[in-house]
Amino acid sequence: MPEHHCSLCHIEIDGLSVSRGGQTLLHDVSMHIHCGQLTVLIGQNGAGKTTLIRALLGELPHGGVIRHVDDHGRDIPHLRTGYVPQHLLFDREMPVTVEDFLAAAFTRRPVWTGVSRKTRARVREALMAVEAADLAQRPLGRCSGGEIQRVLLALALNPAPDLLVLDEPVSGVDQNGLKMFLDTVLRLKETHHLAILLVSHDLRLVREYADHVVLLDKTVLCQGAAEAVFATPAFDAVFGQGREDK
């Protein structure tokens, strides 16, 4: 990942609503996502977390306002966003290395014609940024779940984004891969001052890593520090009182 310091101060979401087919998916959602912070969305399935992400990415029409604001309070017209999905669906038998996969995204040149020295160096730099340089020549289909997520993170960080969106990126990843992935994300947050939005169902992970937590159930029920959100009646109503994994 090239050296980059985010020009964004925060993303301001005010009164956001999304409806499809006569059904209200989100209503009156208001929250801020700040640079240099890991903001975590929590809520049960169907709460609207993915819908909110798709609205942020410009994939769904919505009511309300989404503003990208710099540190002088001015609107930023073009926000650079990186996105890591929950899973990568692909044929694991394809003879494609990690280097081939990233090179195809970094250049318009077909990888079967060969990877240029310049592109190979860019791939190496991208993998080094997520501590995955040793994966370059490994077939993509032989990577573990955690390794694939680090490859996708390398892709999401090129070009360097203002906002990094992580949609349950460590679901099903073993504990070692989970820690490595999240430690890498935290390091990038601090060194590049990224605004990061993470969707997670793992409340222990939320407690350990989140700077700001937003509890969603088609609208924002509460938000703040993890401990403060976990202590609210709204949290107990959504997740059940006295959860052991809080």
Of residues 72 and 246, which shows the higher confidence score?
Answer: 72
pLDDT digits 0-9 by tens, 16-66: 999 998 899 999 999 999 988 999 999 999 999 999 999 998 899 999 999
Q: What angle do CA 198, 201, 206 make, to 5 degrees?
A: 60
Report pLDDT digits (tens) over 193-218: 889 999 998 899 899 999 999 999 99
63-73: pLDDT as tens digits:
999 988 877 77
Q: Does residue 137 register a pLDDT over 70?
A: yes
Fold of 1-80+163-177+197-239: Rossmann fold (3.40.50)
Query: pTM of the entire structure?
Result: 0.87
Spans of all domains in the chain: 1-80+163-177+197-239, 87-158
Tokens of 189: 């947050």
Residue 245 has a pLDDT of: 58
Each residue of 139-152: pLDDT tens digit? 999 998 888 989 99
- Report yes or no: 26 and 55 within 8 Å, Cβ to Cβ: yes
Q: What is the pLDDT of residue 98?
A: 95
- Between the alpha carbon of residue 15 and those of residues 60, 154, 224, the distances in Å are 15, 33, 18
CA distances from 158 to 4, 95, 215 (A): 11, 24, 30
Can you give the pLDDT at residue 49?
Answer: 95
Q: Measured between alpha carbons, how far is 39 from 109 in angstroms, rounded to an integer?
A: 37
